[in-house]
Structure 1
């Protein structure tokens, strides 16, 4: 069955790149609504932006979506990952600015709020996208691929020259709350040189050592160090889940990323939907629903309707 939130939940923070205060409120929504942002600060034009793959516009540093009137919402990947990881398929997200609050740089604060809300099952079947044959997008040595699998899996590898990051890889079957156990608290990361460059160009103005892991060669500059020894690759997996959720339905398949990022994952989805014989929509039964990332994560309430 499709789900939504049981009640509204609010988050207050700052935008990672703008540094501006932002208030974001998640509301329950009906079946087949999907995940939709509404910019309540925008007047006189269409202020709703659907969180779907075809609304993504190029951005090097985050996932940014845009509607027909040019209204945008950026840095959406951590909240979309939290919704997917908690099994929430429909929500209206009101936000009073152009950027989702960064919180602590992970999805954990969003997951905590969603779990406090609980989820409501809706009287509508849940469809998923089953991958039928491999689809791949390459950019130099970087690759992103979707291939057939019974459930949903993420297999990711990264390779950085900074000794504190280096080569990391991890593979997870995402059923049985794996997102909450393994990925949700893993924070976004960057190198000190990147921070200096971004801030010199008016970006990362809301970034601190508390809402991102900052590496400098063999050093971790953020207080308290790492939450996991391989926190960097785990955060890449978190981002991948958030970006793949823009497919508009859960995916039954394996995502394999090697040095991939937001733009590559979106290009992969575009390649997938350009090949109708590479996937099919299937209506899930209860056993199949248990293979998805959010199964059993949130407290359920009575059926809606």
Structure 2
């Protein structure tokens, strides 16, 4: 497959993908259909509110709303779509530019905590290129954001290349780097699961239940990598799994820029808030990028 920098045409799915699962935070069952869409449509989420009512929200950074431990989008008409990052990462890595994502609940399914089910669905669907020209964001000069010990920097490059570092208490330092292609994403990043420490997750889960807030209601040993002390229960699915999952999330958050990004990113201890801060800083600095 041609490198991202060589891609010239927009693409969508060849057929619809339909998956069902449970939300990480709401715990609710949800069915999601990812369908082909026309040129310049972008990725759009359509939430079914029942009684024939639907609302659309584009997967763009301007619609992003801060929510705990996930990436969420707020429709201009009010309703929320929650935990979109894993699907967005899979669509981005598999070079799907246009799709309509319909769901019958607030939150996308978490599955096993990673993105492999989305990758398998997209692979089964296939990919169809159109005659419409693809535009990409080419980074022209470095942009950096910081939050305490967390840093995220993007610089010019001919493809999306990530280099991530993460240090967790009682674990050796973790690293991952690579250029994002469908194969690299599916094999090295998609199997990595959402993770958290039991000593923080259990109280948060109880807190959410008591206050009737959608917080980790669907979190369990089947949907997350649970850290106890210096170990992940059941072991890691891939080496340095936590930092790989942070890179997975980062790709999904970068997708909210609305176009493929050509840039080299260095990340240290990044998370959703810093990811979104970088997208906003880049998009708000017109001299730092151009549409090719």
TM over 0.5: yes
Matches within 5 A, 1:50-129: 50-129=58-137
Q: In 2, distance between residues paired with 1:70 and 1:186?
A: 32
Q: In 1, distance between residues paired with 2:119 and 2:50?
A: 27
Matches within 5 A, 1:196-215: 196-202=202-208, 203-215=215-227
Matches within 5 A, 1:151-166: 151-161=159-169, 163=170, 165-166=171-172
Which residue among 132, 138, 144 is the counterpart of 1:136?
A: 144
Task: Name the residue aligned to 1:302.
Answer: none
Q: In 1, distance between residues paired with 2:25 and 2:287?
A: 39
Task: Name the residue aligned to 1:294.
Answer: none
C-alpha displacement of 1:177: 2.4
Count of matched residue positions in the alignment of Structure 1 and Structure 2 = 278
Matches within 5 A, 1:142-291: 142-161=150-169, 163=170, 165-175=171-181, 177-202=183-208, 203-221=215-233, 223=234, 225-282=235-292
C-alpha displacement of 1:106: 0.5
Q: In 2, distance between residues paired with 1:170 and 1:9?
A: 30
C-alpha displacement of 1:131: 0.3
The TM-score normalised by the length of structure 2 is 0.92
3-state DSSP of counterpart to 1:123 = strand
Off by >2 Å, runs of 4+ in structure 1: 41-46
Structure 2 CA distance for partners of 1:259 and 1:42, relative to 1, 3 Å: farther
Further displaced range: 2-11 or 41-50: 41-50
Gaps of 5+ in 2: 1-8, 209-214
3-state DSSP of counterpart to 1:172 = strand
Q: In 2, distance between residues paired with 1:43 and 1:135?
A: 46
C-alpha displacement of 1:125: 0.8
Q: In 1, distance between residues paired with 2:68 and 2:265?
A: 21
Task: Name the residue aligned to 1:300.
Answer: none
C-alpha displacement of 1:76: 0.5
Task: Name the residue aligned to 2:21.
Answer: 13
Q: In 2, distance between residues paired with 1:59 and 1:256?
A: 24
Indicate if the aligned counterparts of 1:183 and 1:234 stay in contact, CA closer than 8 A. Answer: yes
Gaps of 5+ in 1: 283-305
Q: In 2, distance between residues paired with 1:208 and 1:152?
A: 33
Q: Residues 53-97 of structure 1: CA distance to partner in whole angstroms, max 9, x if unpaired?
A: 111111231001112122111110000011111111110000001
Q: In 2, distance between residues paired with 1:45 and 1:267?
A: 33
Q: In 2, distance between residues paired with 1:138 and 1:110?
A: 31
Flag the structure with higher strand content: 2
